[in-house]
Amino acid sequence: MYDFELLTATSLNEAVTALQNEETQALAGGQTLIPTMKQRLASPERLVSLTRIKALQGVTVTAKEVVIGAATRHADVAVQAAACFPALADLAGHIGDPAVRNRGTIGGSLANNDPAACYPAAVLACGAVIETNLRRIAAEDYFDGMFGTALDDGELITAVRFPIPEIAHYEKFVQPASRFALVGVFVARFDGVVRVAVTGASQMGVFRWAEAEAALSNEFAPVAIDNLAIDPAELIADAHAAQTYRAHLVAVMTKRAVTAAHR
Amino acid sequence: MLQLNMTVNGQPVSGQAEGRTLLVQFLRDELGLTGTHIGCDTSQCGACIVHINGDAVKACTMFAAEAAGAKVNTIEGQANADGSLNRIQQAFQDNHGLQCGFCTPGMVMSATALLRHTPKPDESTIRTYLEGNICRCTGYHNIIKAVLAASEQDAFAQNPR
Ligand SMILES: Cc1cc2nc3c(=O)[nH]c(=O)nc-3n(C[C@H](O)[C@H](O)[C@H](O)COP(=O)(O)OP(=O)(O)OC[C@H]3O[C@@H](n4cnc5c(N)ncnc54)[C@H](O)[C@@H]3O)c2cc1C
Ligand code: FES
Ligand code: FES
């Protein structure tokens, strides 16, 4: 590993101040950033670790919302959100493998916005709000194509606020080598209105499937989308799956998510 | 250089590291604990798994400085006090759960973490939990049997494929 400086922040202020310097980058669980640095795909001069900032950790529940601190590990979301938002806890509990979940964080995942990552599907399907040290960003305005987000340089995610759906489920077809989603679909229903967000499939990153949302809002059952199909043209094609296969999987994962959806 | 203090296998230790020093390098090169292996160095294989405050993590994908003050457990700390293999290690030996042994420290550390919170896992739970541990030799079946045996379950009753 090339040489760089590692700072450990113990307060949000300390981290935000350190990030004013444009050569400094945030380090959360390191499950994406460390491999990226080893490959020299990123080479910041300075890292500021967020893992000791208490204010960024933990799950808080109110009647209608779950608020997750940005530096909360996937393993902790899997446990702490299990009672209030089981679909989200289940998603967190199936990210990567146990060791990845014991380090990786929701803030790191959303800042990275990997086109095959799981959390973006939950954020978009629930219309969650990304809180930063500067502002609140609606899910619709946050994701900006593969690995792209609305975050400015030095801007830090502090928390993610999820409205709690009536029922929801995330269904993921695992890419067996990476354990990311080959295709993942998060289905959530709020007051009868269904939202469907798809990850892993599109070259544009996570997206909502409007036709399926309309059909499922009308009738919340797998048959409701029997006649719908995703246009494969904009989907990802790689060694693991062709565009047409991914398009097929989007429909299958959506149906499975609808079948499995519960409180 | 940073001076790092942590508790490794129950012993307070102190050593020098740079910001970039990975935990696995610190354990192997600074503390001489070479039981923690580096298989891939890209967070894929799990050969480097150790416990930080009881949680399994990949020591190749964590900076040593992040473990400052933590309780770290490695394969070297797993044997019984008299030096004999512990229950899980013995089960790996008894069930032929290793061949070359390269993946074994990580497998044992993962299995130990699993059995701590799930004392009697079924076969599918074990397979899922060990997803991050890759073995090039055994084909996994005997590893699953070993974990079943270590949790005092009859491997054949559960019919591992
Ligand atoms: C083997 C393996 C399997 C995986 N499988 C999956 C999977 O199935 N599904 C999935 O979704 N992910 C998967 N991941 C990725 C994993 O979830 C990562 O934990 C996550 O993408 C990054 O989180 P992190 O906390 O490790 O962030 P880091 O790696 O520390 O940081 C990632 C990026 O986010 C930035 N950042 C971190 N925190 C913040 C913040 N609060 N505000 C602003 N920027 C920030 C960093 O500067 C960096 O650019 C996998 C990873 C591995 C190694
Ligand atoms: S060496 Fe750490 S996961 Fe392979
Ligand atoms: S025993 Fe050789 S890699 Fe597992």
Query: What was the ipTM of the complex prediction?
Result: 0.95
Tens-digit pLDDT profile for residues A136-165? 999 999 999 999 999 999 999 999 999 999
pLDDT of residue A124 exceeding 80, the answer is yes
**B134 in contact with A, Cβ within 8 Å:** no
CATH for the stretch B87-154: 1.10.150.120
- Per-residue tokens: B97: 């759960």
Which of A44, A45, A38, A50 is CA-nearest to residue A11?
A50
Of B42, B66, B133, the CB nearest to A51: B66
Put simply, whether B43 touches A (Cβ < 8 Å) is yes
Question: Which residues of chain A lie closer than 8 angstroms to B42, CB-CB?
Answer: 35, 38
* Average of per-residue pLDDT values in chain B: 95
| Cβ-Cβ contacts under 8 Å, B131 against chain A | 97-98, 179
Confidence of residue B156 (pLDDT cuts 50, 70, 90): low
- Which DSSP symbol is given to B63? B
Q: Does B42 touch chain A (CB under 8 A)?
A: yes
Check: CB of residue A43 under 8 Å from CB of residue B20: no
Average pLDDT score over residue span A100-114: 98
Tell me the domain boundaries of chain B. 2-77, 87-154
Which residues of chain A does B63 touch, with a Cβ-Cβ cutoff of 8 Å? 6, 27, 30, 34, 49
Say if residues A215 and A225 touch (Cβ distance below 8 Å).
Answer: yes
Strands A5-8 and B11-17: unpaired
CA distance linking residue B84 with residue B156, whole number of Å: 26
Flag whether pLDDT at B161 surpasses 60.
no
String of DSSP letters for B18-54: -TT-BHHHIIIIIS--TTS--S-SSSSS-TTEEEETT
Query: Cβ(B52)–Cβ(B70) under 8 Å?
Result: yes
Distances in Å between the Cα of A235 and the Cα atoms of A172, A190, B85 are 16, 28, 52
Backbone phi, then psi, for A78, in 5-degree steps?
-55, -35
Q: Report strand pairing: B49-52 vs B71-73.
A: antiparallel
| Rounded Cα distance, B151 and B85, in Å | 15
Residues B50/B35, Cβ–Cβ less than 8 Å: no
- What residue of A is the nearest CA neighbor of B109? A99
- CB atoms A4 and B43 under 8 Å: no
Question: pLDDT digit string (tens) for B81-116?
Answer: 999 999 999 999 999 999 999 999 999 999 999 999
Q: Is A99 on the interface with B (CB under 8 A)?
A: yes
Is residue B40 exposed (0-12), middle (13-18) or buried (19+ Cβ within 10 Å)? middle
Domain B87-154 in the same topology as domain B2-77: no
DSSP assignment of A201-248, as one string?
SBTT-SEE-HHHHHHHHH--SGGGGTT----GGGB---SS--HHHHHH
The dihedral built from the CA positions of residue A228, A235, A98 and A81, taken in this order, carries a sign that is negative
Q: How far is the CA of A55 from the centre of ligand 3 (A)?
A: 42
pLDDT number for residue B157: 64
Q: Which CATH superfamily is domain B2-77 in?
A: Beta-grasp domain (3.10.20.30)
Write the pLDDT tens digit of every residue in B15-64.
999 999 999 999 999 999 999 999 999 999 999 999 999 999 999 999 99
pLDDT value of position B153: 86
- Does residue A174 carry a pLDDT above 80? yes
Round the CA-based radius of gyration of chain B to a whole number and report it.
Answer: 16
CA distances from A208 to A201, A211, A232, A241 (A): 11, 9, 15, 20
Q: Which domains does chain A have, with CATH numbers?
A: 5-49 (3.30.43.10), 54-163 (3.30.465.10), 167-260 (3.30.390.50)
* pLDDT value, residue B158: 60
| Ligand 2 and B30: CB distance under 6 A | no
Residue B98 Cα: closest atom of ligand 3: 1
Joined together, the tokens standing for residue A90 give 């289940």
